[in-house]
């Protein structure tokens, strides 16, 4: 699964070519991805103008002038390609794994005014596209139970403390709960906990005072979450710039994680002599330093 920073780098790559543009023609080459495409999908998109391209959790949200929102999820293997006559093909976004460019997996095409084509390619077809009335987004089953955006103003230590109050779950599981905060996955939870020096085994409720206020650890954790996500987005952004003209297949995230996937490696916390341990929590690998994460 792409994590939030990957989706955000895709959004930032697509926004300049899609925002404000009319979809001259939408083409669906098959009736379904992970789920069936919406009824009359191509017809409902053709002729519509894209007012803006946003993101909610790991969903891209194209706001249309039809009062509908085109919701797009990359699934396991989805990617977009930007094609324009006379220009190199661009795959916007920074991915941990290379993306397919096989035309057999091009399932949806948006021909935009000005001659740009945005092509959705997805070999495994776990991705999704939906059309939802703008007024129903907040109550839609995909979004109504999702917590605040980790990079948005609605997420802070007080909100986190309130969500964790009385929770008899670990910090790791608490942060992966999409109702607590949107879009955080295994990698960036491990990274944020390491940066905040908090153990993934600690009880989530320990970040809340008896009166329900955030502890200083809660404040540090929120700062760390924002830092690791912003660093990853910036790293993806720089990959995008640095390699845009080289081979056209831009941007794989450089793996400079501090904890994730570093089992037995020395801890990088200044002054810490520990090594990164791996354990399994809720069926997923957790990487952490028992020496400096308490």
Q: Please state, in angstroms and rounded to a whole number, the distance separating the CA atoms of residues 13 and 244.
A: 11
Q: Give the binding range for Zn ion (CB under 5 A) out of 8-16, 49-57, 237-245, 274-282.
A: 274-282
Which residues 275-294 are close enough to bind Zn ion by CB under 5 A? Answer: 289, 291-292
Active-site choice (48, 58, 111, 167): 58
Give the contact letters, 254-273, x = binds to Zn ion (CB under 5 A), - = no.
-------------x-x--x-
**Residue 91 or 289 with smaller CB distance to Zn ion:** 289
Which residues 80-109 are close enough to bind Zn ion by CB under 5 A? Answer: none
Residue 68 annotated as catalytic: no
Q: Please state, in angstroms and rounded to a whole number, the distance separating the CA atoms of residues 72 and 258.
A: 31
Q: Please state, in angstroms and rounded to a whole number, the distance separating the CA atoms of residues 77 and 102.
A: 12
Give the Cβ contact number of residue 24 at 10 Å.
Answer: 15
Among 274, 275, 277, 278, binds Zn ion (CB under 5 A): 274
Residue 21 annotated as catalytic: no
Q: Please state, in angstroms and rounded to a whole number, the distance separating the CA atoms of residues 289 and 278.
A: 9
Q: Please state, in angstroms and rounded to a whole number, the distance separating the CA atoms of residues 107 and 287.
A: 37
Size of residue set near Zn ion by CB under 5 A: 7
Residue 284 annotated as catalytic: yes
Q: Please state, in angstroms and rounded to a whole number, the distance separating the CA atoms of residues 73 and 6.
A: 12
**Residue 18 or 289 with smaller CB distance to Zn ion:** 289
DSSP sequence for 25-44: EEEESSSBSSSBPPTTHHHH
Gyration radius (Cα) of the chain, Å: 20
**Residue 67 or 273 with smaller CB distance to Zn ion:** 273
Give the Cβ contact number of residue 40 at 10 Å.
Answer: 11
Least spacing, CB of residue 68 vs Zn ion, in Å: 49
Least spacing, CB of residue 272 vs Zn ion, in Å: 3
Which residues 217-236 are close enough to bind Zn ion by CB under 5 A? Answer: none
Residue 31 annotated as catalytic: no
Residue whose structure tokens are 């999908």: 41
Judged by the rule CB under 5 A, the positions of this chain that interact with Zn ion are 267, 269, 272, 274, 289, 291-292
Active site residues: 2-3, 58, 284
């Amino acid at each position: 699964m792409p994590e939030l920073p990957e989706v955000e780098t895709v959004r930032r790559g697509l926004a300049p070519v899609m925002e404000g543009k009319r979809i001259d023609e939408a083409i669906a080459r098959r009736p379904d991805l992970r789920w069936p495409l919406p009824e009359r999908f191509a017809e409902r998109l053709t002729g519509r103008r894209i007012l803006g391209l946003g993101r909610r959790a790991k969903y891209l949200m194209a706001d249309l002038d039809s009062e509908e929102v085109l919701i797009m999820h990359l699934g396991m293997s989805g990617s977009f390609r930007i094609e324009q006559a006379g220009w190199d093909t661009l795959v916007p976004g920074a991915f941990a794994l290379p993306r397919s460019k096989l035309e057999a997996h091009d399932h949806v095409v948006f021909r935009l005014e000005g001659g740009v084509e945005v092509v959705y390619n997805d070999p495994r077809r776990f991705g999704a596209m939906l059309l939802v009335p703008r007024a129903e987004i907040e109550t839609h089953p995909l979004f109504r139970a999702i917590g605040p955006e980790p990079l948005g103003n609605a997420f802070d230590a007080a909100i986190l403390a309130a969500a964790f109050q009385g929770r008899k779950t670990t910090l790791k599981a608490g942060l992966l709960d999409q109702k607590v905060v949107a879009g955080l996955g295994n990698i960036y939870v491990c990274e944020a906990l390491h940066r905040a020096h908090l153990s993934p085994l600690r009880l989530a409720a320990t970040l809340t005072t008896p009166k329900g206020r955030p502890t200083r650890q809660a404040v540090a954790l929120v700062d760390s979450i924002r830092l690791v996500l912003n660093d990853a987005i910036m790293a993806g952004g720089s990959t995008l710039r640095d390699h845009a003209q080289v081979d056209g297949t831009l941007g794989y995230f450089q793996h400079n994680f501090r904890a994730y996937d570093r089992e037995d490696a020395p801890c990088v916390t200044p002054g810490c002599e520990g090594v990164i341990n791996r354990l399994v929590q809720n069926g997923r690998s957790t990487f952490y330093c028992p020496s400096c994460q308490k």
